[in-house]
Amino acid sequence: MVWPIDRHRDEAICAAYRDGMTTRRAIAERFDVSRRVINKVLKRNKVFKHPGELRFWRKVGIRTKQECWPWKASKSRLGYGQIGWQGRVTEAHRVAFELTHGEIPAGAWLVHSCKSPDCCNPKHIISRTKEDSIRDDRQNRVLYARAWRANNKRERCYQQARRRARKWRATPSWADLGVIKKIYESCPSGHHVDHIVPLRTLRGNKLVACGLHCEANLQYLTATENVRKRCSLPDDLAFP
Ligand SMILES: [Zn+2]
C-alpha cells in the first residue's frame, strides 16, 4: 500500500528545518514521526544535500532567483564571503557552486556574472576557463566604458568640447582642412588617426610640446598602438 503524501506536514517539517531545528531528532519528536520519515521528507523536498548545507544557507540573504544573494557572515578583504568548510576557510561562492552544481572542474575559475563578490546566488556564479574569463574581462571593460559614457553625458560633452578646442587652437591658418577631413574619413577600420607629435604633451604638470593639427602631423595607428602611445612624443623627437 502506498501512503498519500501529506503536503502540509511536509511543508511544516521543511519549514522547521529551515527555521533552525537542525537535528532530525528534534524535528522527529515535534512531529511525532520517526527520523527516517524526516529524512525522506527532506530528501523529497530537496532540503537536504550536505550536512553543512543548512549552516551555509543560513548565512546567505536568499532572495528571488534573479536577485543577488548577499553573504551575511564574514568577508575577506576583497569582499568575498568566507566560511569554515570541511576543515578550512573557503570562499562562500565556491561552496554555493559546489552545493548546487557539484564539484568545481579542475583549473576552472568561478566568476560572478553580477560582479558582486559577496553574491551566493548559484545562478550568478559561472565556471569559466582562465582564457575565457580574461577575454570576458576585456569585453566588460568595453561595456563599462560605453555605460560610463551613457551615464555621464555632461562630463563627456565637456571632455569633447575641450578636445575640439585644443584641436582648433592647434590648427595653423595654412592647414588644408579638406585634406585633414579626408584623412579622417578614409581611416581604415580598427585604426585611429594619431597626431605624430601630440597636441599636448605633459611632463608632470608642465606642457613640454604642442603638435599641430595639420596633414603632415597625422598618421594611422592601430587602436592598440595608439592607446599604448598615449601622449608620448615619437622617439626621434623625445628629449630628456
Ligand atoms: Zn549576484
| CATH code at position 91 | 3.90.75.20
pLDDT at position 138: 86
pLDDT at position 96: 92
Residues 79 and 129 in one domain: yes
Ligand 1 centroid–CA 44 distance in Å is 28
Residues 22 and 72 in one domain: no
- Is the Cβ–Cβ distance between 128 and 136 less than 8 Å? yes
Distance (Å) of CA 236 to CA 56, 96, 232:
63, 57, 11
Residues whose Cβ atom is located within 5 A of ion ligand 1: 68, 114, 119, 121, 124
Residue 240 lies in a domain: no
Host domain of residue 182: 172-229
Residue 3 lies in a domain: yes
Residues 54 and 130 in one domain: yes
Place of cell 532567483: 65
Rounded to whole angstroms, how far apart are CA atoms 14 and 11?
5
Residue 218 lies in a domain: yes
Neighbours of 17 (CB within 10 A): 21
Residues 198 and 177 in one domain: yes
Residues 145 and 182 in one domain: no
Residue 167 lies in a domain: no
Neighbours of 27 (CB within 10 A): 21
Residues 43 and 108 in one domain: no
pLDDT at position 87: 83
pLDDT at position 20: 65
Place of cell 608642465: 206
Residues 221 and 184 in one domain: yes
Residue 139 lies in a domain: yes
Compute the CA torsion angle 13, 17, 21, 22 (nearest 10 deg): 130
pLDDT at position 213: 93
Cell of 29: 519528536
Contacts (Cβ under 8 Å, ≥6 apart) of 206 = none
Residues 117 and 130 in one domain: yes
Residue 86 phi/psi, 5-degree rounding, is 50, 50
**Residue that is last in its domain, among 151, 181, 209:** 151
Tens digit of each residue's pLDDT, the chain (240 residues)? 556 677 888 888 888 777 766 567 777 888 888 878 877 887 777 665 566 787 888 899 989 889 999 999 999 999 999 998 888 899 999 999 988 887 888 888 898 988 899 999 999 999 988 888 888 888 888 999 999 999 999 999 999 999 999 999 999 999 999 999 999 999 999 899 999 999 888 888 888 888 999 999 999 999 888 888 888 887 777 665
pLDDT at position 50: 61
| Tally of domains within the chain | 3
Ligand 1 centroid–CA 67 distance in Å is 6
Ligand 1 centroid–CA 213 distance in Å is 48
Ligand 1 centroid–CA 72 distance in Å is 14
Residue 76 lies in a domain: yes
Residues 65 and 28 in one domain: no
- Is the Cβ–Cβ distance between 120 and 93 less than 8 Å? yes
Residue 135 lies in a domain: yes
Residues 64 and 124 in one domain: yes
Residues 143 and 66 in one domain: yes
Rounded to whole angstroms, how far apart are CA atoms 89 and 189?
50
Residue 156 lies in a domain: no
Residues 56 and 136 in one domain: yes
